[in-house]
Amino acid sequence: MYEKYLIIGNVGRDPEMRYTPSGQAVTSFSVAVNHEYTNSGGEKIKDTKWVRVVTWGKLAENCNQYVKKGMKVLAEGRLNADKETGNPVVFQRKDGTSGSAFEMTAQIVRFLSSSHSDDGGMVEAAQEVGGEPVPF
């Protein structure tokens, strides 16, 4: 079996990094994936889906250092589903309420811009972050 998901979008907030009890780095950040289309009535519709991207190890450390709110990224990995329902992952917020979100574990993250740009996709810098250090 093979599974691969690829998303391109803008980072919604700065990443959060933590460590597992064994010392492994884990970084997560949210990405807004936009889809625009025109409906049958001629009205332009903008549909935004939020995806929580989770990275591990050296990739997590690099993403925590270089990913910033507003920048455009490409993330490639596998989709995570809630173990009980198979639906988007259910989580607890800091205020005690629960929520759900699409979540992916990324094996590759590419930086497509250094910050938010309004030009609709002008690539300023493309850096792939896998197991290698980012050559800045």
* CA pair distance 23, 60, nearest whole angstrom: 12
User: For the range 80-84, what are the long-range contacts, defined as Cβ-Cβ under 8 Å and sequence gap of 24 or more?
Assistant: 80/54, 80/104, 80/105
pTM above 0.85, yes or no: no
pLDDT at position 107? 95
Domain residues of the chain, as ranges?
5-36+43-129
pLDDT at position 115? 58
pLDDT at position 42? 94
* CA pair distance 29, 74, nearest whole angstrom: 12
Is domain 5-36+43-129 given the CATH code 3.20.20.450 in the classification? Answer: no
pLDDT at position 82? 79
Nearest to 114 by CA among 125, 101, 128, 105: 125
Nearest to 53 by CA among 110, 125, 122, 133: 110
pLDDT at position 124? 37
pLDDT (tens, 9 = 90+) of the chain, 136 residues, equals 778 999 999 999 999 999 999 999 999 999 999 999 999 999 999 999 899 999 999 999 999 999 999 999 999 999 988 788 888 877 778 888 887 778 999 999 999 986 544 444 433 334 445 544 444 3
